[in-house]
């Protein structure tokens, strides 16, 4: 049996091509100033909408009966439960994929927001 040949990093295309395929406003990553900030604000709004959608679908799924261990018994796994479960899983995957791209694309902005919140908490404690 022939050994599989492993592709090198360089064979996956140029760095710019990989960046452009990442999604979440990858082109704005290189812009400076207000244009990049507004892209970040838009991405945060999208993230908030995805989180709200997941929360809504999770609440609908959690409305189904559970046993003492927190599991849904097989007797209650109706077509309605299965559709709610599939919708919740799909919403979770969408949020998970978005977050992966969001964190890569807006690393500096996320860090700046976190530092700003931390500084505000410290100012509040010292007053």
Residues 6 or more apart from 81 whose CB is under 8 A from it?
A: 61, 64, 72
Positive or negative CA dihedral for 47, 30, 38, 113? positive
DSSP string, 78-98: -HHHHHHHHHHHHHHHHHHHH
Domain ranges of the chain: 32-126
CB 54 within 8 A of CB 97: no
CA-CA distance, 61 to 114, in Å (whole number)? 32
- The span from the CA of 125 to the CA of 1, in Å, is 67
For residue range 76-122, what is the model confidence (pLDDT) as tens digits?
A: 899 999 999 999 999 999 999 999 999 999 999 999 999 999 999 99
- pLDDT tier, 62 (very low <50, low <70, confident <90, very high otherwise): very high
Q: Which residue has the higher pLDDT, 124 or 6?
A: 124
Output the pLDDT for position 100.
96
Angle, CA 11 vertex, CA 6 and CA 14 arms, to 5°? 150
Q: What is the pLDDT of residues 37-55, one digit of tens each?
A: 689 999 999 999 999 999 9
């Amino acid at each position: 049996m022939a050994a599989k040949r492993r592709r090198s990093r360089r064979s996956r295309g140029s760095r710019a091509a990989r960046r452009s395929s990442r999604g979440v406003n990858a082109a704005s990553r290189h812009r400076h100033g207000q244009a990049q900030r507004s892209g970040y604000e838009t991405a945060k709004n999208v993230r908030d909408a995805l989180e709200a959608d997941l929360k809504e679908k999770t609440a609908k799924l959690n409305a189904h009966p559970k046993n003492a261990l927190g599991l849904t018994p097989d007797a209650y796994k109706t077509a309605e439960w299965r559709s709610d479960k599939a919708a919740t899983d799909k919403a979770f995957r969408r949020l998970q994929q978005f977050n992966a791209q969001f964190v890569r694309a807006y690393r500096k902005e996320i860090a700046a927001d976190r530092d700003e919140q931390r500084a505000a908490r410290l100012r509040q404690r010292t007053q």
